[in-house]
A and B are shown apart, each in its own frame.
Chain A
Amino acid sequence: MDHRQIVAARLAAVGISLSEQELDHLAAAYAKLLHWESVAQGLIQPETEPALIFHAKVEG
């Protein structure tokens, strides 16, 4: 599915209906959203996770 189809399906799933033009705009916004998610993913530092901190401190 392309972004426009994903957007239409996701909105339909939560019961929101928008115009065709708005769906076009949202497809572009969805690409931005995916970019933001990848940026956030890339910033995560494992040492902030309790499980990894535990292994690092306890197991060395």
Chain B
Amino acid sequence: MATHNSQLTYLSLAEVAHLIAKREVSPLEVTNTMLDRIAVVEPRLHSYYTIFAADALVAAKEAETQIRSGNYKGPLHGIPVAIKDIYEAGPTTGGSKLRKDYVARQDCTSVRKLKQAGSIILGKLATYEFAAGLPTLASYFQPARNPWNRDIDPGGSSSGSGAAVAAGLAYGAMGSDTGGSIRWPAFCCGIVGMKATYGRVSRAGVFPLSWNLDHTGPMTRTVEDCALMLQACAGYDPLDPASADEPVPNFSGKLGRDIKGMRIGIPRKLFMENCDKEILASFEAAVTQMATLGAEMRDVDSITFGEMSALLWPIVAADAAAYHLEDMKTRPGDYNPDLRMILAIGTLVSATGYLQAQRVRDQVRRKMLQQLETVDLFMMPTTGFMPGPIRSEPPVGSFITSDSFSIYTPLMNLTGFPTLALPCGFSAAGLPMGFQLAGKPFDETTVFQAGYAYEQSTPWHQRHPAL
């Protein structure tokens, strides 16, 4: 049976994989569907920097041949995905004028693993500059647009990953997350993103922002798809010094199990001071839904938003400044103003201030590990503010020092715990909203279980932007 192209667009990765496995659609048909849609939609979305059309078609034909000859590799085989442009693979700009002509000599570990699993790499996706600096209409690389409203920021820094997946221009994408850069665009674009446990997914060949806090991981339209994509890219990699030599479980293994009796802690102190009322209402509805599904919801203690920010930003800014110092000395004008400001702030962080932040970070992590002896998961809003219009000018100073940047994702960068972001409703203006579930280190499987139970009991993942 040949499935009409438009019917393929918003199928989940798992659904397309099922059709490919049964040979009801071919990788070539699926890849052509994506490339055709990219050609139509992308000029209005700016989610891709580079499209590997020719290479993708070659890979799709090869996948088709392999599958026809009985060599089906698994659910990623023949599936078109795309990659944030800080992962080394072909042209890799980091969203920066500084690397506009850089071409990677070889694929980074994650891309290599995705290809080994049979994925078709469609191209490289827009990013905030070096995963941090807010792009504007004046930036060297145009900012990606939010598919739900093209005047609105899709969140970042994995902006193109969020926009492309939500718009049906890929079945999944790789993002990176240092303070929330997978989960914030997932919130803004109404999709699912997994920041797996620190060390779970290799960062080898990915431009760093903060060695201490950088995570990489998948972004998809459903929880199941996220588990499948994580399966392909997780695992020990000696090329990443922080990579964890831990067994890789079947991340889909608990999907479909109920969550009756699961204990979920809500760290209200983190978000009660500055969370937007509409977001808070959608979060409370999600809490009620989790309770309806049988989870035992309870409040747990936590640090405040202000305390979290005080630990995060000095570490991020100083780490980033260390990486970018030589370019900041010789060609500061080639950075976007926002990143230039972050990097300058990073040079001002004192050694003692940096180390105190790291000491307290360890305290926070230990305390939350203790809490995970009495709860199975944490649940909290992803962010406390709705995304604003794409800017024509950079913010004064930097967004990291702005009190209005009330994002709750960094807590789990500080702890390194696996955290899933997923949609939980829409604002009156028609923009997506979402929440996070975090679990024990290396227990992504339980996080997926709970996220899947919520997702399957609500309609949010079935909505798609009109483009």
Contacts and interface: CB of A to CB of B under 8 A. Distances in A.
Given A17-B332, A22-B341, A43-B360, A36 B310 contact: yes
Interface stretch (B23-31, B84-92, B163-171, B396-404): B396-404
A28 B397 contact: yes
Q: B-side binding surface: helix, strand, loop or mixed?
A: helix
A59 interface: no
Nearest to A14: B347
Interface stretch (B36-44, B45-53, B220-228, B301-309): B301-309
A55 B310 CA distance: 30
A36 B346 CA distance: 13
Interface residues of B, number: 34
Contact of B401 (A32, A41, A45): A32
Contacts, number: 91
A33 B344 contact: no
A35 B362 CA distance: 20
Interface string B281-319: 000000000000000000000010011011101100000
A32 B398 CA distance: 11
B242 interface: no
A39 B359 CA distance: 13
A59 to B, nearest CB: 23
Given A16-B332, A43-B363, A44-B356, A33 B309 contact: no
Residue in B307, B310, B362, B366 with the greatest tally of chain A CB atoms within 10 Å: B310
B340 to A, nearest CB: 7
Nearest to A28: B397
A14 B97 CA distance: 23
Given A16-B332, A44-B356, A11 B397 contact: no
Contacts of A18: 332, 340, 344
Contacts of B306: 39
Interface of B: 303, 306-307, 309-311, 313-314, 325, 328-329, 332, 337, 340-341, 344-345, 347-350, 352-353, 356-357, 359-360, 362-363, 366, 396-398, 401
Interface of A: 7, 10-11, 14-18, 22, 25-26, 28-30, 32-33, 35-37, 39-41, 43-45, 48
